[in-house]
Structure 1
């Protein structure tokens, strides 16, 4: 367990150092050797965690997916579907609050390069699938009508999430947190998702 935690810490350290270098020099101008020097590790150690430099940019999406699955497991007993969903999305926004400038840089680099489109689409599909699982469980627990289309609701929620990210990326960094943008938009679509007669559930 301790060994796994240490490995995760080192992977995170490599990720953060690489993002700093990308921010200072631009993604294309940073080499794996420069990243390893900044981290004080051997090249082989880098490749143990990331098969290539581009993989660093996909690390956030993978850790966000882990956060989604952890949130679903941790909050399975929460009796309100809206609360379950907000706890899930809050777990994602925590990362943006920790290092907003680096996260902005990373997302912008992924969008700009287009190199990772298929990888990102695979992660997005897994994200939607996780939401479908949560929504199907909500149906079984009577928190969502049986006739509700879980796949469509998951697609809408995914769209709201990524739209909030794009608005945040294009705004003044000091203007508003991405979570605030998402909450406003989520509240608008929630009225279409919420079961009739369920009050604020």
Structure 2
């Protein structure tokens, strides 16, 4: 039990110091050696927790994606499209509060997805969350579609990622672009009920 507590403490120490250095110097300008020096640990200890510096960003992104379940639970009022937009608005809000560290984490998530042929844990979590929202809507008969829920979720997540990649990093511009692109495709795959979900 003590050993597990010590491992958790060491991992938190690495994360804390790495994030602080990333904020001070920029992610690209920080080396593993600088992180280990700031932590007062050997390089070998660092590599027991993270294979490389990039994995710190993936771990950080994972920890933020854990909030997704709470965000989904808070946003279950309104039409299905409104619920999806509320979820994305909250994700953008978190993103912009920590953009100096979450932007490189997002970039690393995309690179990881490309390297693993689309099998990114964080993108999968987002897809699962959108699937959940759509499945709940189907159960409440709030919408129907000739397409599978997973296919609809893929399109919605694709729009979200496209907007993050291709739009200037300003929260309102991102939300406006996301709402516009979602509107363009929404009617093509979802036939939404006009009744409100509560």
TM-score (norm 1): 0.69
**Can you give the 5+ residue segments of structure 1 that lack an aligned partner in the other structure?**
none
Mapped to 2, the partners of 1:150 and 1:94 lie a distance apart of 26
State the partner residue of 1:65.
65
Q: Tell me, which stretches of 5 or more residues in structure 2 are unaligned?
A: none
1: CA distance, partners of 2:14 / 2:178: 29
CA deviation profile, 1:58-100 (whole Å, cap 9, x unmatched): 1343134322222223334x24322221221122112321133
Matched, 1:192 2:173: no
Contact 1:21 1:35 in 2 (8 A): no
- For the residues of structure 2 that align with 1:132 and 1:140, how far apart are their CA atoms? 12
Paired residue for 1:117?
115
Q: Which has the higher contact order (CA 8 A, sep 6+)?
A: 2
Q: Report how far residue 21 of structure 1 moved.
A: 5.9
Q: Aligned equivalents of 2:91 and 2:171: distance in 1?
A: 19
The CA RMSD over aligned residues, in Å, is 3.8
Distance 1:159 1:53, change over 3 A: same
Q: How much does 1:164 deviate?
A: 0.5
Question: How far does residue 121 in structure 1 lie from its aligned partner after superposition?
Answer: 2.3
Q: Which residue of 1 aligns with 2:22?
A: 19
Cα shift at 1:155: 0.6
2:84 is aligned with 1:85: yes
Aligned equivalent of 2:179: 183
1:196/1:86 CA distance change after superposition, 3 Å = closer
Against the structure 1 CA distance between its residues 191 and 133, is the aligned structure 2 distance closer, same or farther, given a 3 Å change threshold?
A: same
Q: CA–CA distance in 1 between the matches of 2:137 and 2:67? A: 19
TM-score by length of 2: 0.70
